[in-house]
Amino acid sequence: MILSDYLNNALKEKWALPHFNISDAVTLAGICEAAKELKSPLMIGTSEGERKFIGLRRAVAMINVYREEYKLPIFLNADHHRSVSAAEEAVNAGYDSVHIDLSAAKLEENIKSTKEVVEYARSKFPISNFQFPISVEGEVGYLVTESSKIYKETIQIPPESLTKPEEAARFVQETGVDRFAPAVGNLHGISANVKQLDFERIKAIRKAIGGEVALVLHGGSAIPDDQIKEAIKCGINNIHINTELRVAYTEALRKFLAEHPDETTPYKFFAPVIEAVKQKAAEKITLFGSKSKI
């Protein structure tokens, strides 16, 4: 099965494919341990900052190792890449998927450049080493926060940042994207106020784009469980988590080093970090309903 098969099944069966971002091999180890144990398919993402730290080809190599060793369907995504050239670099490095995020641009420019990435990705299949079509995600509407932050203040979402269903329909039709990311009350990072998704907007966007395109929820960290479940019922079939994994990682590391201030052995102080990431990933896999979907 390829990525589109899992996404199609998720929509039909009312679950969501988890997408976890990584910054290093430690995070990836915890995520893959959880997926192996729970028999869940996965998307693993690297933002432009994360890919710069890890390295494009090293990220591809790490994913290939886990695919082979754990027999897991893992799909590597270039997350929030903000230029055509950056997206094309990820395609050329062997990524399975790219998310071209030009949501800050005018709609016409967003459509034009996203379509360019779609056409470039399509041109790579079935030639070269690509075993299946490269999936492309686009975005209309924008999130006003960053995944690298925990906000102590209340975040206000401007109405103009939210995705209009008619623009979503036009974007999907004119670009040919495989996945679409809307702004529906979601926020990157963790904010002081409880996130409140706009379920009517999600349903309207799902209706506007049809059932062949995946509907992606970014900023999934700290969204209450009941809202996640309702979003899936409304047509979301792919959910991104990053900040909650980072918090689990840093809290476990700080705790261990505080308790063992003289420890200098990485495999000892990263062991509880891997376990903390594993537990958080397992929690999300169970919540999203992707357990036992392999």
Does some domain include residue 46?
A: yes
Torsion angle in degrees (nearest 10) through CA of 221, 21, 163, 211? -100
Tell whether 198 is covered by a domain. Answer: yes
Q: Which of helix, strand or coil describes residue 217?
A: strand
79 labelled catalytic: yes
**Domain contains 294:** no
Contacts of 159 (CB under 8 A, 6+ apart): none
The answer to whether residue 21 scores a pLDDT higher than 50 is: yes
Catalytic choice (79, 96, 178, 198) = 79
Amino acid type, 22: I
Q: Binding residue per annotation — 260?
A: no
Residue 243: how many other CB atoms lie within 10 Å: 23
Question: Does any domain span residue 293?
Answer: no
pLDDT at residue 124, rounded to an integer: 82
List residues bridging with 182 in a β-sheet: 140
As given in the structure block, the two tokens for residue 159 are 């109405």
pLDDT at 191: 67
Mean per-residue pLDDT, 164-181: 98
Cα separation values, 207 from 162, 175, 226, 236, Å = 16, 18, 22, 11
Establish whether 80 is an annotated binding residue: yes
Domain encompassing residue 218: 3-288
| Residue among 66, 71, 59, 69 at smallest CA distance from 97 | 59
In this structure, is residue 32 part of a structural domain?
Answer: yes
Instruction: Please count the structural domains in the chain.
Output: 1
* Whole-number Cα distances in Å, 284 to 35, 241, 290: 10, 8, 9
For residues 27 and 12, give the distance between their C-alpha atoms in angstroms, rounded to a whole number. Answer: 30
Residue 191 counted as domain residue: yes
Question: For 221-247, how does the pLDDT look when each residue is reduced to its tens digit (9 = 90+)?
Answer: 989 999 999 999 999 999 999 999 999
CATH number for position 126: 3.20.20.70
Let me know if residue 114 belongs to a domain: yes
Between CA 186 and CA 100 the distance in angstroms is 18
Instruction: Render pLDDT for 47-65 as a digit per residue (tens, 0 to 9).
Output: 999 999 999 999 999 999 9
Q: Give me the pLDDT at residue 133, please.
A: 86
* Residue 126, pLDDT above cutoff 70: no
Instruction: Identify residue 239 by its one-letter amino acid code.
Output: I
pLDDT band at 285 (very low <50, low <70, confident <90, very high): very high
Stated pTM of the model? 0.94
CA pair distance 20, 34, nearest whole angstrom: 12
**CB crowding 213-224: b at 16 or more within 10 Å, else e:** bbbbbbbbbbbe
Are 226 and 186 within 8 A, CB to CB? no
The band of 195, judged by pLDDT with boundaries at 50, 70 and 90, is confident
Alpha-carbon distance of 60 to 77, in angstroms, equals 10
Q: Which of 215, 202, 220 is nearest to 285 (CA)?
A: 220
Q: Please give the single-letter amino acid code of residue 228.
A: I
Strand runs (DSSP E) across 101-208, as ranges? Answer: 135-140, 179-182
**Per-residue pLDDT averaged across 154-166, rounded?**
84
- Binding site annotation covers 240? no
